[in-house]
Protein backbone atom coordinates (compact mmCIF):
# COMPACT_ATOMS: atom_id res chain seq x y z
CA UNK A 1 0.00 0.00 0.00
CA UNK A 2 1.42 3.40 -0.98
CA UNK A 3 1.87 6.26 1.50
CA UNK A 4 -1.02 8.08 -0.18
CA UNK A 5 -3.34 5.07 0.14
CA UNK A 6 -2.45 4.71 3.81
CA UNK A 7 -3.42 8.32 4.52
CA UNK A 8 -6.69 7.97 2.57
CA UNK A 9 -7.75 4.71 4.20
CA UNK A 10 -6.43 5.22 7.74
CA UNK A 11 -9.56 6.91 9.20
CA UNK A 12 -11.90 4.17 7.94
CA UNK A 13 -9.86 0.96 8.33
CA UNK A 14 -12.30 -0.45 10.87
CA UNK A 15 -15.35 0.45 8.78
CA UNK A 16 -13.86 -1.02 5.61
CA UNK A 17 -13.01 -4.26 7.42
CA UNK A 18 -16.65 -4.54 8.54
CA UNK A 19 -17.83 -3.56 5.08
CA UNK A 20 -16.12 -6.58 3.53
CA UNK A 21 -18.39 -9.00 5.40
CA UNK A 22 -21.46 -6.81 4.93
CA UNK A 23 -20.89 -6.57 1.19
CA UNK A 24 -20.28 -10.32 0.86
CA UNK A 25 -23.62 -11.03 2.55
CA UNK A 26 -25.41 -8.43 0.42
CA UNK A 27 -24.07 -10.05 -2.78
CA UNK A 28 -24.97 -13.60 -1.76
CA UNK A 29 -27.34 -15.76 -3.80
CA UNK A 30 -28.97 -19.13 -3.09
CA UNK A 31 -28.37 -20.17 -6.70
CA UNK A 32 -25.05 -22.10 -6.70
CA UNK A 33 -24.02 -21.06 -10.21
CA UNK A 34 -24.65 -17.39 -9.47
CA UNK A 35 -22.82 -17.65 -6.15
CA UNK A 36 -19.80 -19.13 -7.95
CA UNK A 37 -19.60 -16.04 -10.16
CA UNK A 38 -20.16 -13.71 -7.18
CA UNK A 39 -17.27 -15.43 -5.34
CA UNK A 40 -15.06 -14.86 -8.39
CA UNK A 41 -15.87 -11.13 -8.24
CA UNK A 42 -15.24 -10.92 -4.50
CA UNK A 43 -11.84 -12.60 -4.82
CA UNK A 44 -10.58 -10.03 -7.31
CA UNK A 45 -11.96 -6.86 -5.80
CA UNK A 46 -10.07 -3.67 -6.60
CA UNK A 47 -9.05 -0.78 -4.36
CA UNK A 48 -12.67 -0.20 -3.28
CA UNK A 49 -12.15 3.52 -3.63
CA UNK A 50 -15.86 4.27 -3.89
CA UNK A 51 -16.98 2.71 -0.59
CA UNK A 52 -13.96 4.38 1.02
CA UNK A 53 -15.30 7.75 -0.16
CA UNK A 54 -18.74 6.91 1.28
CA UNK A 55 -17.28 6.18 4.72
CA UNK A 56 -14.95 9.20 4.68
CA UNK A 57 -17.67 11.70 3.80
CA UNK A 58 -19.98 10.07 6.35
CA UNK A 59 -17.38 10.42 9.11
CA UNK A 60 -16.61 13.99 8.03
CA UNK A 61 -20.24 14.92 8.66
CA UNK A 62 -21.29 12.64 11.52
CA UNK A 63 -21.09 9.12 12.89
CA UNK A 64 -21.20 6.07 10.60
CA UNK A 65 -24.50 4.18 10.80
CA UNK A 66 -26.04 1.02 9.31
CA UNK A 67 -27.33 3.28 6.55
CA UNK A 68 -23.75 4.13 5.61
CA UNK A 69 -23.06 0.45 4.96
CA UNK A 70 -26.18 0.30 2.80
CA UNK A 71 -24.94 3.31 0.79
CA UNK A 72 -21.46 1.85 0.33
CA UNK A 73 -22.85 -1.54 -0.73
CA UNK A 74 -25.35 -0.03 -3.18
CA UNK A 75 -22.68 2.00 -4.90
CA UNK A 76 -20.12 -0.81 -5.04
CA UNK A 77 -22.77 -3.07 -6.60
CA UNK A 78 -23.65 -0.39 -9.14
CA UNK A 79 -19.99 0.20 -9.94
CA UNK A 80 -19.33 -3.53 -10.36
CA UNK A 81 -22.40 -3.91 -12.59
CA UNK A 82 -21.27 -1.07 -14.86
CA UNK A 83 -17.76 -2.55 -15.19
CA UNK A 84 -19.23 -5.92 -16.17
CA UNK A 85 -21.52 -4.33 -18.74
CA UNK A 86 -18.66 -2.15 -20.05
CA UNK A 87 -16.53 -5.25 -20.66
CA UNK A 88 -19.36 -6.76 -22.71
CA UNK A 89 -19.85 -3.59 -24.76
CA UNK A 90 -16.10 -3.16 -25.30
CA UNK A 91 -15.55 -6.90 -25.89
CA UNK A 92 -12.84 -6.76 -23.23
CA UNK A 93 -11.63 -10.11 -21.96
CA UNK A 94 -9.44 -8.96 -19.10
CA UNK A 95 -10.11 -6.87 -16.02
CA UNK A 96 -7.53 -6.07 -13.30
CA UNK A 97 -5.15 -8.69 -14.65
CA UNK A 98 -7.77 -11.48 -14.59
CA UNK A 99 -10.30 -12.80 -17.07
CA UNK A 100 -13.45 -10.68 -17.31
CA UNK A 101 -16.87 -12.17 -16.54
CA UNK A 102 -17.78 -12.30 -20.24
CA UNK A 103 -14.52 -14.13 -20.97
CA UNK A 104 -15.19 -16.69 -18.25
CA UNK A 105 -18.93 -17.21 -18.72
CA UNK A 106 -19.96 -15.53 -22.00
CA UNK A 107 -21.57 -12.15 -22.62
CA UNK A 108 -25.16 -13.25 -22.00
CA UNK A 109 -24.32 -14.38 -18.46
CA UNK A 110 -22.26 -11.23 -17.86
CA UNK A 111 -25.20 -8.99 -18.81
CA UNK A 112 -27.56 -10.94 -16.56
CA UNK A 113 -25.05 -10.77 -13.69
CA UNK A 114 -24.80 -7.00 -14.10
CA UNK A 115 -28.59 -6.81 -13.99
CA UNK A 116 -28.62 -8.94 -10.83
CA UNK A 117 -26.13 -6.68 -9.06
CA UNK A 118 -28.06 -3.56 -10.00
CA UNK A 119 -31.29 -5.14 -8.76
CA UNK A 120 -29.65 -6.23 -5.49
CA UNK A 121 -28.43 -2.69 -4.91
CA UNK A 122 -31.92 -1.33 -5.44
CA UNK A 123 -33.42 -4.03 -3.22
CA UNK A 124 -30.94 -3.26 -0.46
CA UNK A 125 -32.05 0.37 -0.35
CA UNK A 126 -35.76 -0.55 -0.43
CA UNK A 127 -35.43 -3.19 2.30
CA UNK A 128 -33.79 -0.63 4.57
CA UNK A 129 -36.25 2.13 3.55
CA UNK A 130 -33.29 4.21 2.39
CA UNK A 131 -35.23 5.95 -0.36
CA UNK A 132 -33.14 9.10 -0.07
CA UNK A 133 -30.03 7.07 -0.93
CA UNK A 134 -31.90 5.38 -3.77
CA UNK A 135 -32.85 8.76 -5.26
CA UNK A 136 -29.20 9.84 -5.40
CA UNK A 137 -28.06 6.52 -6.87
CA UNK A 138 -30.86 6.40 -9.46
CA UNK A 139 -29.83 9.82 -10.73
CA UNK A 140 -26.26 8.52 -11.08
CA UNK A 141 -27.41 5.48 -13.10
CA UNK A 142 -29.42 7.72 -15.43
CA UNK A 143 -26.56 10.14 -16.00
CA UNK A 144 -23.99 7.39 -16.55
CA UNK A 145 -26.17 5.85 -19.26
CA UNK A 146 -26.71 9.26 -20.88
CA UNK A 147 -22.97 9.93 -20.82
CA UNK A 148 -22.12 6.63 -22.52
CA UNK A 149 -24.71 7.15 -25.24
CA UNK A 150 -23.64 10.75 -25.79
CA UNK A 151 -20.04 9.65 -26.22
CA UNK A 152 -21.03 6.96 -28.73
CA UNK A 153 -23.08 9.48 -30.69
CA UNK A 154 -20.30 12.05 -30.84
CA UNK A 155 -17.53 9.53 -31.55
CA UNK A 156 -19.01 8.86 -34.99
CA UNK A 157 -18.61 12.50 -36.01
CA UNK A 158 -15.31 13.42 -34.33
CA UNK A 159 -16.60 16.99 -33.94
CA UNK A 160 -16.99 17.07 -30.17
CA UNK A 161 -16.63 20.44 -28.44
CA UNK A 162 -15.02 21.04 -25.06
CA UNK A 163 -18.45 21.78 -23.57
CA UNK A 164 -19.88 18.46 -24.75
CA UNK A 165 -16.73 16.64 -23.62
CA UNK A 166 -17.15 17.90 -20.05
CA UNK A 167 -20.82 16.97 -20.12
CA UNK A 168 -19.81 13.43 -21.11
CA UNK A 169 -17.15 12.92 -18.44
CA UNK A 170 -19.29 14.52 -15.74
CA UNK A 171 -22.06 12.04 -16.53
CA UNK A 172 -19.87 9.01 -17.32
CA UNK A 173 -17.27 9.19 -14.57
CA UNK A 174 -17.80 12.03 -12.12
CA UNK A 175 -21.47 11.40 -11.34
CA UNK A 176 -20.76 8.04 -9.65
CA UNK A 177 -18.00 9.48 -7.46
CA UNK A 178 -20.28 12.43 -6.70
CA UNK A 179 -23.00 10.01 -5.59
CA UNK A 180 -20.50 8.28 -3.26
CA UNK A 181 -19.71 11.55 -1.50
CA UNK A 182 -23.35 12.68 -1.41
CA UNK A 183 -24.65 9.36 -0.11
CA UNK A 184 -21.96 9.26 2.58
CA UNK A 185 -23.18 12.59 3.94
CA UNK A 186 -26.84 11.66 3.42
CA UNK A 187 -26.40 8.43 5.38
CA UNK A 188 -25.54 10.35 8.56
CA UNK A 189 -28.40 12.83 8.24
CA UNK A 190 -26.46 15.82 6.94
CA UNK A 191 -28.40 18.91 5.89
CA UNK A 192 -29.29 19.18 2.15
CA UNK A 193 -26.77 21.96 1.53
CA UNK A 194 -24.03 19.80 3.09
CA UNK A 195 -25.02 16.81 0.95
CA UNK A 196 -24.84 19.06 -2.11
CA UNK A 197 -21.42 20.34 -1.04
CA UNK A 198 -20.15 16.77 -0.72
CA UNK A 199 -21.66 15.92 -4.10
CA UNK A 200 -19.68 18.76 -5.66
CA UNK A 201 -16.50 17.56 -3.95
CA UNK A 202 -17.03 14.13 -5.51
CA UNK A 203 -17.84 15.60 -8.92
CA UNK A 204 -14.70 17.72 -8.95
CA UNK A 205 -12.36 14.87 -8.05
CA UNK A 206 -14.23 12.67 -10.55
CA UNK A 207 -13.52 15.14 -13.35
CA UNK A 208 -9.87 15.46 -12.25
CA UNK A 209 -9.63 11.66 -12.19
CA UNK A 210 -10.88 11.38 -15.78
CA UNK A 211 -8.58 14.15 -17.01
CA UNK A 212 -5.65 12.23 -15.51
CA UNK A 213 -6.83 9.11 -17.36
CA UNK A 214 -6.93 11.09 -20.59
CA UNK A 215 -3.36 12.26 -20.06
CA UNK A 216 -2.10 8.68 -19.68
CA UNK A 217 -3.04 8.09 -23.31
CA UNK A 218 -0.52 10.69 -24.46
CA UNK A 219 2.40 9.52 -22.34
CA UNK A 220 5.09 7.45 -24.00
CA UNK A 221 5.42 5.41 -20.83
CA UNK A 222 2.56 4.64 -18.51
CA UNK A 223 1.55 2.05 -15.93
CA UNK A 224 -2.18 1.90 -16.50
CA UNK A 225 -2.16 -1.38 -18.40
CA UNK A 226 -3.36 0.10 -21.67
CA UNK A 227 -1.13 0.98 -24.61
CA UNK A 228 -0.28 4.58 -25.35
CA UNK A 229 -2.77 5.94 -27.84
CA UNK A 230 -5.55 3.51 -26.98
CA UNK A 231 -8.16 6.30 -26.90
CA UNK A 232 -6.86 7.60 -30.23
CA UNK A 233 -7.20 4.14 -31.82
CA UNK A 234 -10.77 3.92 -30.51
CA UNK A 235 -11.51 7.43 -31.86
CA UNK A 236 -12.34 8.74 -28.38
CA UNK A 237 -12.10 12.51 -28.45
CA UNK A 238 -10.54 13.48 -25.13
CA UNK A 239 -9.61 16.96 -23.93
CA UNK A 240 -5.94 17.10 -25.07
CA UNK A 241 -6.97 16.35 -28.66
CA UNK A 242 -10.10 18.52 -28.58
CA UNK A 243 -8.07 21.53 -27.39
CA UNK A 244 -5.30 20.94 -29.95
CA UNK A 245 -7.76 20.63 -32.85
CA UNK A 246 -9.64 23.75 -31.76
CA UNK A 247 -6.39 25.74 -31.82
CA UNK A 248 -5.17 24.53 -35.20
CA UNK A 249 -5.81 25.64 -38.77
CA UNK A 250 -8.55 24.09 -40.88
CA UNK A 251 -6.04 22.16 -43.01
CA UNK A 252 -4.13 20.92 -39.97
CA UNK A 253 -7.36 19.82 -38.30
CA UNK A 254 -8.38 17.92 -41.43
CA UNK A 255 -4.98 16.21 -41.58
CA UNK A 256 -5.02 15.13 -37.92
CA UNK A 257 -8.59 13.84 -38.04
CA UNK A 258 -7.58 11.67 -41.00
CA UNK A 259 -4.73 10.29 -38.88
CA UNK A 260 -7.18 9.53 -36.04
CA UNK A 261 -9.58 7.72 -38.38
CA UNK A 262 -6.77 5.46 -39.58
CA UNK A 263 -5.00 5.00 -36.23
CA UNK A 264 -6.31 1.49 -35.59
CA UNK A 265 -4.91 0.09 -38.84
CA UNK A 266 -1.82 2.33 -38.91
CA UNK A 267 -0.08 2.43 -35.50
CA UNK A 268 2.39 5.07 -36.71
CA UNK A 269 -0.53 7.51 -36.89
CA UNK A 270 -0.76 7.45 -33.09
CA UNK A 271 2.73 8.89 -32.69
CA UNK A 272 1.95 11.71 -35.11
CA UNK A 273 -1.26 12.57 -33.25
CA UNK A 274 0.55 12.53 -29.88
CA UNK A 275 3.27 14.84 -31.25
CA UNK A 276 0.64 17.20 -32.67
CA UNK A 277 -1.32 17.36 -29.39
CA UNK A 278 1.83 17.97 -27.34
CA UNK A 279 3.13 20.71 -29.65
CA UNK A 280 -0.30 22.38 -29.73
CA UNK A 281 -0.49 22.72 -25.94
CA UNK A 282 -3.19 20.09 -25.42
CA UNK A 283 -1.26 18.30 -22.67
CA UNK A 284 -0.42 21.49 -20.75
CA UNK A 285 -4.00 22.76 -21.00
CA UNK A 286 -5.46 19.48 -19.72
CA UNK A 287 -3.00 19.39 -16.82
CA UNK A 288 -3.98 22.93 -15.83
CA UNK A 289 -7.71 22.13 -15.80
CA UNK A 290 -7.07 18.89 -13.93
CA UNK A 291 -5.30 20.82 -11.17
CA UNK A 292 -8.05 23.46 -11.18
CA UNK A 293 -10.68 20.80 -10.46
CA UNK A 294 -8.50 19.26 -7.77
CA UNK A 295 -8.12 22.64 -6.10
CA UNK A 296 -11.88 23.31 -6.25
CA UNK A 297 -12.48 20.00 -4.47
CA UNK A 298 -9.97 20.85 -1.74
CA UNK A 299 -11.50 24.32 -1.33
CA UNK A 300 -14.84 22.71 -0.42
CA UNK A 301 -13.14 21.04 2.56
CA UNK A 302 -11.87 24.37 3.91
CA UNK A 303 -15.09 24.82 5.91
CA UNK A 304 -14.26 21.78 8.05
CA UNK A 305 -11.90 21.74 11.05
CA UNK A 306 -8.62 19.88 10.72
CA UNK A 307 -8.98 16.13 11.31
CA UNK A 308 -7.64 12.81 10.10
CA UNK A 309 -10.74 12.41 7.93
CA UNK A 310 -10.36 15.83 6.31
CA UNK A 311 -6.67 15.12 5.68
CA UNK A 312 -7.65 11.85 3.98
CA UNK A 313 -10.11 13.62 1.66
CA UNK A 314 -7.50 16.27 0.80
CA UNK A 315 -5.02 13.48 0.05
CA UNK A 316 -7.64 11.76 -2.11
CA UNK A 317 -7.96 14.92 -4.20
CA UNK A 318 -4.18 14.98 -4.68
CA UNK A 319 -4.12 11.27 -5.48
CA UNK A 320 -6.47 11.77 -8.43
CA UNK A 321 -3.88 13.97 -10.15
CA UNK A 322 -0.65 12.29 -8.97
CA UNK A 323 -1.41 8.58 -9.51
CA UNK A 324 0.53 6.61 -12.08
CA UNK A 325 -2.14 4.02 -12.88
pLDDT digits (tens, 9 = 90+) for 271-321: 899 999 999 999 999 999 999 999 999 999 999 999 999 999 999 999 999
Model confidence over 216-245: pLDDT tens digits?
A: 888 755 444 444 678 888 888 899 999 999
> In total, how many domains does the chain have?
1
Cα separation, 25 vs 12, in Å, equals 20
Maximum mean pLDDT: which of 3-17, 213-227, 262-276: 3-17
- Of 221, 276, 240, the C-alpha closest to 231 is 240
Q: What is the 3-state secondary structure (H, E, C) of 12-39?
A: HHHHHHHHHHHHHHHHCCCCHHHHHHHH
**Domain of residue 317, residue span:** 3-322
CATH number of domain containing 151? 1.10.600.10
pTM over 0.75, yes/no = yes
Amino acid sequence: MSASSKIIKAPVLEEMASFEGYFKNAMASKIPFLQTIVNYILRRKGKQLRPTIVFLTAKLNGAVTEKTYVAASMIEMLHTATLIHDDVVDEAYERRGALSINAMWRSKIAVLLGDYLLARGLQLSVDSSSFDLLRIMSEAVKEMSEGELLQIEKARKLDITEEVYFDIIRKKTATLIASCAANGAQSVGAEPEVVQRMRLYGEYIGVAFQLKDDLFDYQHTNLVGKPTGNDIKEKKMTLPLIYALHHSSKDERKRVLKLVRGARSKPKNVGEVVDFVTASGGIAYTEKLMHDYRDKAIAILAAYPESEVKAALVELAHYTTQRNK
